[in-house]
Amino acid sequence: MNVKKVEMVFLSLCASMLLVFLLALFYSAYGMGMHLPGVEATVDPREVRQTAPFDEPGLREVGEGQYEAVFLGFAWGFQPREITVPAGSEVTFIATATDVIHGFHVEGTRVNFMLIPGQVARQSYTFREPGEHLIICHEFCGAGHHLMYARVIVE
């Protein structure tokens, strides 16, 4: 095989792979509706514990089968540590951090965002099956990072 032919095959293969990857990216973004959660609002991180709704973190029923779960992330924990919802419920997570950047990932779901001091994040999810979901911090936040977790119990 001559060198030009090998180069053309290689370039064609690379261009094809780039095209496939771009198509997959556009399909996930537009076809499947995946997107990064945006900044819902801002809050002064020094006053967050005195600012509604973060002055009373926890679970609130806002409608038939609809709940709001307000969370605070801090070194090295979440408040509240546990919430319980009925199966089939839609839960809107509203969260922020009080000190440094933390992660917020509900295992087994697509709920996954960063907690940035001063920014309020919001994401909804419908828990269809009973079970227990661990909430973990996926951004290293210091020596006690491995202790930072909470739970969603679906009954």
Domain map of the chain by residue range? Answer: 1-35, 41-154
In the numeric block, the tokens 């076809």 are attached to 31
- pLDDT tens, residue by residue, 91-136: 999 999 999 999 999 999 999 999 999 999 999 999 999 999 999 9
The two tokens of residue 20 are 């496939």
Backbone φ, ψ for residue 10 (5° rounding): -65, -50
Backbone φ, ψ for residue 133 (5° rounding): -120, 130
Non-local CB neighbours of 145 within 8 Å, separated by 6+ positions: 76, 137
Write down the pTM of the prediction.
0.77
| Angle, vertex CA 63, rays to CA 128 and CA 134, nearest 5 | 40
Report d(CA 84, CA 90) in Å as an integer. Answer: 12
Closest Cα to residue 91, out of 110, 117, 118, 119?
A: 110
CATH architecture under which domain 41-154 falls: Sandwich (2.60)
**Span 28-33, average pLDDT:** 76
Q: Is a pLDDT exceeding 80 seen at residue 155?
A: yes
Report d(CA 36, CA 58) in Å as an integer. Answer: 24
> Residue 39 has what pLDDT?
72
- pLDDT tens, residue by residue, 48-82: 999 999 999 999 999 999 999 999 999 999 999 99
Task: Please return the burial class of 19, using the count of CB atoms within 10 Å of its CB with bins 0-12, 13-18 and 19+.
Answer: exposed
Non-local CB neighbours of 138 within 8 Å, separated by 6+ positions: 103, 104, 105, 112
